[in-house]
Amino acid sequence: KGVVTLDPGYKNTGACESAITFLDGEKGVLRYRGYAIEELAEKAHFLEVCYLLIFGELPTEQQLSKFHTDIKAQSHVDEDVKRILDGFPKAAHPMGVLSSLTSALVAFNPSSVNVDSEEDMYKAIVKILGKFPVLTAWTYRKRMGLPLDYGGDSLGYVDNFLKMMFKKPSGEYTTNETVLEALDKLLILHADHEQNCSTSTVRIVGSSHAGLFVSISAGIAALWGPLHGGANQAVIEMLEAIKEDGGDTKKFMAKAKDKDDPFRLMGFGHRVYKNFDPRAKIIKKAADDLLDNLGIDDDVLDIAKALEKEALEDPYFVERKLYPNVDFYSGIIYRALGIPVEMFTPMFALGRLPGWIAQWREMRLNKEPIGRPRQIYIGETHREFLPVEKR
């Protein structure tokens, strides 16, 4: 007590106790509420995982059905939100737009702010789960100049999202099981990752009792950065750049190792995983399977594999324990699903939404104190003020 320990980037500082996600970075283990990520990715659906993360147990059929019905009942977004969206330039990055729109939702749902009971929390939770996919799809459609609309009540959560994204102006929409399964899996793999940058942001903003929606809006802003969720967009841009440059992966490896060059191998390295990222393993296989199934030949996947092979044999990467992370192969799947590169990070946000909600809820139920890190002051000691004419 009273002694401030310096830990830039919180590399060794625990900020809370949590019962949501277990992560062993040395062994490459990731579990949500005790369930192995490999098993959930294989057997569960995204909405079940949302429920599991938020409420701690896998839902019964009845619980899942009620949860879905409650979400659907709250998926309507006030028509005036369309006017806010209209104010953004088409070229605006979707993450900035999404963060703003999520924040703006508070104005249309003021009762979502003061949530002192579990019942109030539940109402705010189903609202954001219902409205966020709509905002994400609208952000995309606005960019594309497509009409803004809803999906269909009879569809599953993920299917409905895809329909909102890709429905033609004529109303026509088709998808298939392969596409749905691939997206479902990807969303599950992104659903939570304990106290990462965006989740810590959600918890710290929420710790001032600012409300769920603005806490999530702050989380979206944190996720945007290329060192965090923004890496998925940066990976594909990097792979494209390598391709355009003639495919010389060694040249880019050398740049990544050069300490005078700010370039990093995007999609490589992780604060916690020091042997492998279990999510990356699953995603690599899923990318292979999906491209096979859809009959797509993406030469960027070959570049990614070549880069991974070289990095795994390179002393620079081996010594620093740098392995492909969740973002390395995910973009290849998004591309195959027809999702444009600027929408990759919003897709990550859609997947991470239940994790942010679960962590916010846990923080509020635990009655955690306001987040307020300390510092070690290294500035001037006391100085006398000089009026401007004497400086």
Q: Is 45 helix (H, G, I), strand (E, B) or coil?
A: coil
Q: Is 271 in the site for ligand CMC (CB under 6 A)?
A: yes
Q: Is 198 helix (H, G, I), strand (E, B) or coil?
A: helix
DSSP 66-86: HHHHHHHHT----THHHHHHH
* Residues 67-106, mask of contacts with ligand CMC (x by CB under 6 A): ----------------------------------------
Torsion region of 276: left, alpha or beta (phi above 0 gives left; psi -120 to 50 gives alpha): beta
Torsion region of 145: left, alpha or beta (phi above 0 gives left; psi -120 to 50 gives alpha): left
Q: Least distance to ligand CMC from the beta carbon of 219, Å?
A: 12
Q: Is 327 in the site for ligand CMC (CB under 6 A)?
A: yes
Contact pick of 166, 224, 268, 323 for ligand CMC (by CB under 6 A): 268
Contacts of 379 (CB under 8 A, 6+ apart): none
Which residue in the list 68, 159, 270, 277 is annotated as catalytic? Answer: 270
Contact pick of 31, 93, 123, 228 for ligand CMC (by CB under 6 A): 228
Q: How far, in Å, CA of 47 to CA of 44, rounded?
A: 8
Considering CB under 6 A, how many residues would be counted as binding ligand CMC? 20
How many helices (H) does the chain have, and how many strands (E)? 17, 3
Ranked by CB distance to ligand CMC, the top (closest) residue is 269
Pick the closer one to ligand CMC by CB: 9 or 379. 9
Q: How far, in Å, CA of 267 to CA of 228, rounded?
A: 9
Q: Is 268 helix (H, G, I), strand (E, B) or coil?
A: strand
Q: Is 229 in the site for ligand CMC (CB under 6 A)?
A: yes
Which residue in the list 184, 277, 314, 327 is annotated as catalytic? Answer: 327
Q: Is 255 in the site for ligand CMC (CB under 6 A)?
A: no
Beta bridge mates, 111: none
Pick the closer one to ligand CMC by CB: 64 or 197. 197
Q: Is 227 in the site for ligand CMC (CB under 6 A)?
A: yes
Beta bridge mates, 24: 29
Q: Is 266 in the site for ligand CMC (CB under 6 A)?
A: yes
Q: Is 352 in the site for ligand CMC (CB under 6 A)?
A: no
327 is catalytic: yes
Q: Which residues lie near ligand CMC (CB under 6 A)?
A: 9, 196, 227-229, 231, 256, 264-271, 320, 322, 325-327
